[in-house]
């Protein structure tokens, strides 16, 4: 967080910081306190500036009978004046730096927080037929099973292996015009966070998040675009992002992936695809995977007081 406030945190690490701020109240309080320091420095600078102006005005309005007394007065006050000027200048610089690197506190609009707790609408087909609907190749909503428990709540989505493909996929479509609190009139960024877990430990598991924005109606989006390669979906989408991650051999913990995508102001739809696979050659050796805590957020800036 200190690196972020000082402008030294790489952009690639921003999603991890935002995730921490969203889930850790102490971290958010720390950032708020640091940002408040910016306000306090500005107020302190104003007070110091007024005090310095008063000192200067007193010195200017004071008349001395001889040049020697004037010179003596100046040299006697010079160290204090220089010190005060240094304090004011230092605070001014600090205030400017804080104002530059922390122009605002970040808040979130979270139109999707899917924990699979309230029987979400799911269709078992290649692609959703409507916005706000999950499509799953094959799988089911389950509670704890096979020694695996949901990351949060009491349910999770299980993606079952397929005989004809290493990857099992799930898709979700967001209507950007129906997204509350989404900034209008300019481009913005969407951030996904999804947690995966293998049903069987020790397999060469791999997870992929893909997201793309499109203009027009959902019927104009070919399901094959989200299933094909990079060049195909990039050709038809307005923006596209993907991130894959393997699972450390032998781990049974939940594995969280973060993905950011630029959303052009002309975009109408945002499509999220979840891919899970056991990279075994034989279908009989492939295992199922669980998905939980699918979160879509739109960070926005809120000006400081």
When pLDDT is cut at 50, 70 and 90, the band that residue 97 belongs to is very low
When pLDDT is cut at 50, 70 and 90, the band that residue 298 belongs to is confident
Pick the range with the lowest mean pLDDT from 31-45, 175-189, 190-204, 206-220: 31-45
pLDDT at 252 over 50: yes
When pLDDT is cut at 50, 70 and 90, the band that residue 257 belongs to is very high
When pLDDT is cut at 50, 70 and 90, the band that residue 214 belongs to is very high
Write down the pLDDT at residue 31: 73
**CA distance linking residue 241 with residue 273, whole number of Å:** 11
**CA distance linking residue 4 with residue 105, whole number of Å:** 12
pLDDT at 168 over 70: yes
The mean predicted confidence, pLDDT, of the chain is 75
**CA distance linking residue 271 with residue 128, whole number of Å:** 10
Q: What percent of the chain has pLDDT over 90?
A: 32
- Which helix (H) or strand (E) segment holds residue 242: the answer is strand 239-246
The better pLDDT of the pair 116, 305 is held by 116
């Amino acid at each position: 967080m200190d690196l972020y406030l000082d402008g030294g945190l790489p952009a690639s690490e921003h999603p991890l910081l935002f995730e921490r701020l969203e889930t850790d109240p102490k971290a958010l309080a720390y950032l708020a306190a640091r940002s408040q320091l910016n306000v306090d420095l500005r107020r302190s600078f104003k007070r110091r500036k007024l005090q310095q102006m008063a000192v200067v005005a007193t010195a200017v309005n004071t008349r001395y009978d001889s040049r020697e007394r004037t010179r003596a007065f100046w040299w006697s006050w010079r160290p204090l004046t220089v010190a005060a000027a240094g304090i004011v200048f230092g605070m001014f610089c600090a205030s400017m730096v804080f104002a530059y690197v922390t122009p605002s506190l970040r808040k979130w609009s979270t139109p999707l927080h899917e924990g699979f707790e309230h029987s979400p609408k799911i269709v078992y087909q290649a692609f959703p037929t409507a916005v706000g609907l999950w499509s799953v190749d094959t799988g089911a909503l389950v509670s704890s099973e096979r020694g695996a428990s949901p990351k949060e709540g009491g349910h999770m989505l299980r993606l079952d292996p397929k005989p004809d493909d290493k990857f099992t996929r799930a898709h979700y479509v967001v209507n950007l015009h129906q997204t509350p609190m989404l900034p209008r009139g300019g481009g913005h960024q969407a951030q996904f966070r999804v947690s995966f877990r293998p049903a069987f430990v020790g397999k060469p598991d791999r997870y992929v998040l893909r997201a793309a924005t499109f203009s027009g109606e959902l019927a104009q989006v070919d399901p094959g675009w989200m299933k094909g390669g990079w060049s195909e979906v990039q050709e038809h989408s307005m923006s596209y992002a993907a991130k894959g991650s393997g699972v450390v051999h032998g781990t049974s913990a939940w594995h969280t992936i973060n993905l950011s995508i630029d959303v052009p102001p002309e975009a109408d739809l945002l499509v999220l695809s979840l891919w899970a696979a056991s990279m075994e050659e034989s279908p009989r050796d492939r295992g199922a995977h669980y998905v939980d805590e699918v979160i879509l957020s739109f960070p926005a800036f809120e000006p400081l007081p």
